[in-house]
């Protein structure tokens, strides 16, 4: 399949893969408070991107992966920007990280 729905999700926390993977993109994931490294991925058909985000997770906070990309059927397909938003405040909880989009076969 060349293209499907845009999906961004947490693939790993502190290097440990998240078992739900892409299929669990809308499933809540419990993250312990403290400094965490989140590996996030973007997938749309054959286009993928991956980045690591540094998060200072607060107790009882809720976060969401956000992204923007130019991955389109007739786009440049060159980048994906990832960041995490604190749902309680609406503020960015991580820096925006730009990663290249690659095309798989």
Record the pTM: 0.85
Name the one residue in this structure whose structure tokens are 């076969």: 105
| Sequential pLDDT tens for the chain (105 residues) | 344 566 889 999 999 998 776 666 667 788 899 999 999 999 887 888 999 999 999 999 999 999 998 877 666 778 999 999 999 999 999 999 999 998 875
Domains of the chain by residue range = 7-103
State the DSSP string of 20-51.
TGGGGTTS-----SEEEEEEEEEEETTEEEEE
């Amino acid at each position: 399949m060349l293209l499907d729905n845009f999906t961004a999700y947490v693939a790993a926390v502190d290097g440990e893969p998240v078992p739900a993977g892409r299929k669990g993109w809308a499933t809540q994931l419990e993250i312990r408070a403290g400094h965490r490294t989140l590996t996030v991925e973007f997938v749309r058909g054959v286009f993928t991107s991956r980045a690591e985000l540094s998060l200072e997770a607060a107790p009882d906070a809720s976060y969401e992966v956000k992204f923007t990309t130019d991955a389109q059927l007739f786009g440049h397909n060159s980048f994906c920007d990832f960041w995490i938003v604190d749902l309680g405040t609406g503020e960015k909880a991580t820096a925006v990280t730009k990663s290249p989009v690659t095309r798989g076969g």
